[in-house]
Structure 1
Amino acid sequence: MEEPDDETQERIRGIIRRGLKKDYICVRFIGIGKKGFEKFLLVEIDVQDDLANREIDHSEFLKTGYMTNIVTSRPSFPGSSFVSRMFAPLVNVNEDHVCGSAHCMLVPYWTQKLGENGNGFMRARQVGPRGGELDVVWLEDEERVLLRGECRVVMKGKLWV
């Protein structure tokens, strides 16, 4: 993950503040994805900023210029390694309920940050209004993330080629 320049970081801090509808947000890290995740923005905020119970102004996330905006923090409750929310209004997804691609960026980040051993199991929770839990593992040698969780079918279709 790459850190943007200071001017971009300050601009993103303002967007996060307005998007999470809070005058002050303690931003701990801002990073941009690499290798297939160049249009992904990851922002870690302090656990005290209560990501789970924030009211969101989704229109603010249009201003980052990134397709996927991931906001994450340590959990304020036991049982999870980290929490997150994902916003992608540029592609008409105000908030994804449990986003697999976001976790492909989150899991290596938190594995390194928490000092896990590269193949350690973690529990992730996406904390939006309809969020959910995932069991996740970063296979560092293979540069792969394994995701496991319950799902609910919300749509079915057929594709003819």
Structure 2
Amino acid sequence: MRIYTVDSFTDEFFKGNPAGVCILDEPAPDAWMQSLAAEMRHSETAFLLKGGVGEPHSLRWFTPTTEVILCGHATLATAHVLYSTGTASETLEFSTKSGILSVAKDKYGLITMDFPAKALQETAPPEGLIEALAVRPVWVGKNVRDYLVEVESEDEVLAVSPDFRALEAADARATIVTARASQSDADYVSRFFAPQGGVPEDPVTGSAHCALAPYWSAKLGSDTLVGTQLSRRGGSIRTTVRGDRVELAGRAVTVFSGTLHV
């Protein structure tokens, strides 16, 4: 079987978010996929089982410690592999635990993914969350999966240095810290922390933008925005809100490909 490492939401090597992509020959046991994801050590490894003619491909994602139900950068990485190897040229459909996800590539190489929007509701933060982040929140919200904490400035987002042990103990699967951007090439900035899922800080998180995009589009009055994630590697996502869906657009580059021997 073929396996790849792809840097997503970037057009530069060693930037963006690295993802593993494994092209399965046949269905694989969950335990085997989890072990391979742990071996790869990326925040997510995608496992693709190609569908028949006219059928969607099956796609699943695993962190080093657990399966997740939605992952943007590993979906982008998978689509990039299929497009760049000539396996696909038209719109792709992936059957996932978050429903059918469609992906298309334009003539300029930009890959756009159609994902579900994840609306937020204002809420009180769980015990210990704000203390673990050591921030002064402007607004706190929650959707089914994650908490979002808005702070006053981009500098505050950059300065966040979580107590990861305390953050892991808080009742929060993952936490997004965000602010309006001060840079001219972005509208909003963010960072994403998910120590409970084995990912202390994720470099560029597509699924987080399913919440960030509708939140900032409502605040800034525009359906189409650019979000930059301020991790050490960094990366940007173009987001467009369309009702209860969010389009996430970005680029990717293949770092290596090889043959799996297990």
**What TM-score range do you get, normalising by the shorter chain?**
0.7 to 0.9
Selected match of 2:252 from 148, 151, 155 = 151
Flag the structure with larger Rg: 2
* 1:145–1:43 CA distance, 2 compared to 1 (3 A): same
Q: CA deviation at 1:113?
A: 1.2
Amino acid at match of 1:15: A
Compare the two structures and name the one with the higher strand fraction. 2
| Distance (Å, rounded) in 2 between the aligned partners of 1:47 and 1:110 | 14
| Selected match of 1:13 from 106, 112, 130 | 130
Which residue of 149, 165, 177 corresponds with 1:43? 149
The residue type equivalent to 1:84 in the other structure is S
Shift in Å at residue 89 of structure 1?
Answer: 0.5
Matched with 1:27 is: 137
Structure 1 unpaired stretches of 5+: 18-24
- TM-score computed with the length of structure 2 as normaliser: 0.49
Q: What does 1:1-161 correspond to in 2, within 5 Å?
A: 1-5=120-124, 8=125, 11-17=128-134, 25-33=135-143, 38-47=144-153, 49-116=155-222, 120-140=223-243, 143-153=244-254
Offset of 1:157 from its aligned partner? 8.1
Q: Aligned AA for 1:60?
A: A
Q: Give SS of 1:50's match.
A: helix
The one-character-per-residue Cα deviations of 1:125-152 (angstroms, maximum 9, x if unpaired) are: 0011112011110112xx1111111224
What's the offset of the Cα at 1:58? 2.6
AA at the equivalent of 1:146: E
Partner of 1:20: none
Matched with 1:21 is none
Whole-Å separation in 1 of the counterparts to 2:158 and 2:217 = 21
TM-score (norm 1): 0.76
**Any gaps of 5 or more consecutive residues in structure 2?**
1-119
Partner Cα distance (1:50, 1:85) in 2: 11
More helix by share: 1
The CA distance in 2 between the partners of 1:95 and 1:153, in whole Å, is 22
The structure whose RCO (Cα within 8 Å, separation 6+) is larger is 2
Paired with 2:248 and 2:209, the residues of 1 have a C-alpha distance of: 8
Distance 1:78 1:88 in 2: 28
CA 1:151/1:139 → structure 2, altered by over 3 Å: closer, same or farther? same
Q: CA RMSD in A?
A: 2.3
Distance 1:11 1:68 in 2: 13
